[in-house]
Amino acid sequence: MTTGNGAPPTEGTSMPLDPRRRYFPRGQGFDSTMALVYETPLDDPAFPQLFVYTDKLSYAPGETVAIHASSTLPGFTTEIVRDGLRPARVAVLELSAPFSPAPDGFLEHGCNWPEVGRWTIPADLPSGFYLLLSRGVAADGTVREHEHGVMVRSAQPGQTARILLLAATCTWAAYNDWGGGNHYMSDKADGLTFAPQLTTKRPYSRGFVWLPEGAPRRMHDNAGPPGAIARHPCFEFAVSRGFSKFYASAGWASYERHFAVWAEREGIALDYATQHDLQDNPALLDDYDCMVNVGHDEYWTWEMRDAVDAFVDRGGHVARFAGNFYWQIRLEEGNTRQVCYKWSAVTHDPVMARNDKRRLTCNWEDPKVARSGASTFGLNGGWGIYAGVGAMVPRGAGGFTVYRQRHWSLEGTHLRYGDILGGAANIFGYEVDGLDYEIRHGLPWPTFRDGAPETVEIIALGLATNSEIIPEVRGEVSYFNFYGDPAAEVAPLRYDDPTDESLDRAARGSGMVVSFTRGAGSVFHAGTCDWVAGLTRRDHGVETVTRNVLTRFTRR
């Protein structure tokens, strides 16, 4: 038996399940854009249902978590478990909830369900991510489960840990499709194919905070024989097992959890917080030597970037083991509503009329915003993006080709010029960050035409693409059929001239490992979403580089 995310259970942490009485807790909502079902309450009191969310994403010890729920069950149990290397149960709540539908406008303003329980966080509770594992049984014996999670910050920031893991909760929100909408799809007929405004006051879709052991990652480990139809194992798993189609694109379970488990195994102390905490408190980073980002970390606000830039200038360090730095967002309604109009910002974002580039929710590289992602993190998504997924670089090296073998981050890896970092663990993808560069005498050099800092050094790189070339195989379709050609989106961000030549150039990208200094601080950026796969799979090079970076960035 396993508990959250396939980890060994602590005694009493998880209750036995009868698989014969379980079936998928999926609603009947249908998204015409991506042809998917999604979770949503059904207005049928006879249908067993259970959904849970909390009033906030993050709490400090001593604060009280308000639990909101909708259910048709007679009652349910919520176990609160600190997730990590050894998941530990810290509380059990016996709750009940009335059935409540998803009201009109819930995607933008919240579900507004009744509060059904409260949990006051003990003053001595360690910082970490805490699962709320809810489970109830209907009168006919049908089991319903729902997973939610909250971050608990440190009671004494920086006292027991000099590293802060900042969870990518804005990207979690962007991909969470609970109720039928996210920043990639929506079943609303409002002229857009996605939902530009999303609340944090709704449940997470299944798979975002908990996954069973062996759930496929977004990256594929086997592209199949040449000419075969491209496979997406995580989508197949999601549809056949009742998980969100987007579970492998974002969330604690697929990304941050892997780093947290590795750090605990290594004896590396971490404190935890969310991007929303940084928005609420720009001084959040002041108590730490190093901020860490991991996984798929795509959505940021202007204010968050200001806080990171100031932190580095003052002498702080950023270790970014993450990919796809791409979209500017706004947070509204007390930072509970996320706004991103993306490629429709010019025509739909209300701030466009005010010409407020600090609020316009489009790409950082867009001339109307003109704040290169590379100026903060050394790389940007516009010079990526895709690798190791579908028909996009399906048979690449799986890792970064090493160019500057003498860089301090590679000490002890035994990697040399031309070797592959992380190839055996398949860490390169599914979205990567790069720069405009040129090769001189066998080494890559930034051209600096994309806003990269003057001190940036390219340590290793790999090849990415923005076009999915589909073989002439009956039954094959492009993953991007619903979205359009990514190269056409990237081209105007890179080049001023919208020509066939610039479109062809935009189809080619890169992912890089870089470092640079600015002010009194420094940044290390391994620009791939799946760096954490190298930690979970115990890749010697990936683990060694990670230790080198964290050691250097916490050495006073």
CA distance 441 to 443: 6
pLDDT of residue 542: 98
Residue 512: pLDDT over 70: yes
- Give the confidence band of 16 by pLDDT, cuts at 50, 70, 90: very low
Structure-token pair, residue 358: 């600090």
Cα 200 to Cα 141, 253, 505: the distances in Å are 32, 17, 38
Residue 153: pLDDT over 90: yes
- Give the confidence band of 437 by pLDDT, cuts at 50, 70, 90: very high
Rounded to the nearest angstrom, the gap between the alpha carbon of residue 112 and the centroid of all alpha carbons in its chain is 26
The amino acid at 242: G
Residue 15: pLDDT over 60: no
pLDDT of residue 555: 86
Backbone angles phi, psi at 387, to 5 degrees: -160, 145
- Residues 236-280 pLDDT 10s: 999 899 999 999 999 999 999 999 999 999 999 999 999 999 999
Asked if residue 121 lies in contact with residue 102, where contact means CB atoms within 8 angstroms, the answer is no
The CATH fold assigned to 4-153+161-280 is Immunoglobulin-like (2.60.40)
3-state secondary structure 423-445: CCCCCCCEEECECCEEEECCEEE
Q: What is the mean pLDDT of residues 439-457?
A: 97
pLDDT of residue 14: 35
CA distance 5 to 19: 18
Structure-token pair, residue 74: 């007679």
DSSP-assigned letters across all residues of 508-556: EEEEEEEEEEETTEEEEEE-BTTHHHHHHTT-HHHHHHHHHHHHHHT--
pLDDT of residue 417: 98
- Residues 56-85 pLDDT 10s: 999 999 999 999 999 999 999 999 999 999
Asked if residue 14 lies in contact with residue 3, where contact means CB atoms within 8 angstroms, the answer is yes
**DSSP, res 253:** I
CA distance 296 to 168: 7
Structure-token pair, residue 501: 């030549």
Residue 22: pLDDT over 60: no
Residue 381: pLDDT over 70: yes
Residue 33: pLDDT over 50: no
Q: Which among 159, 178, 301 has a CA at the least distance from the CA of 251?
A: 178
61 burial (CB, 10 Å; 0-12 / 13-18 / 19+) is middle
Q: What is the mean pLDDT of residues 378-389?
A: 95
Residue 24: pLDDT over 50: no
CA distance 275 to 167: 6
pLDDT of residue 471: 64
Question: How many Cβ atoms sit within 10 Å of the Cβ of residue 119?
Answer: 20
Residue 477: pLDDT over 80: no
Q: Which among 460, 451, 444, 449 has a CA at the least distance from the CA of 518?
A: 451
Q: In this structure, is the dihedral angle defined by the CA atoms of residues 523, 528, 531 and 532, taken in order, positive or negative? A: positive
Rg (CA), the chain: 23
CA distance 85 to 90: 15
Arithmetic mean of pLDDT over the chain: 90
Q: Which residue has the tokens 């991510």?
A: 129
- Residues 449-467 pLDDT 10s: 999 999 999 999 999 999 8
Residue 547: pLDDT over 50: yes
The vertex-396 CA angle with 390 and 402, nearest 5°, equals: 140
pTM of the model: 0.93
Rounded to the nearest angstrom, the gap between the alpha carbon of residue 236 and the centroid of all alpha carbons in its chain is 20
Asked if residue 49 lies in contact with residue 41, where contact means CB atoms within 8 angstroms, the answer is yes
CA distance 173 to 100: 22
CA distance 392 to 325: 19
Q: What is the mean pLDDT of residues 224-233?
A: 85
Helix (H, G, I), strand (E, B) or coil at 452: coil
- Residues 346-363 pLDDT 10s: 999 999 988 787 889 999
DSSP-assigned letters across all residues of 331-345: EETTTTEEE--GGGH
CA distance 10 to 195: 39
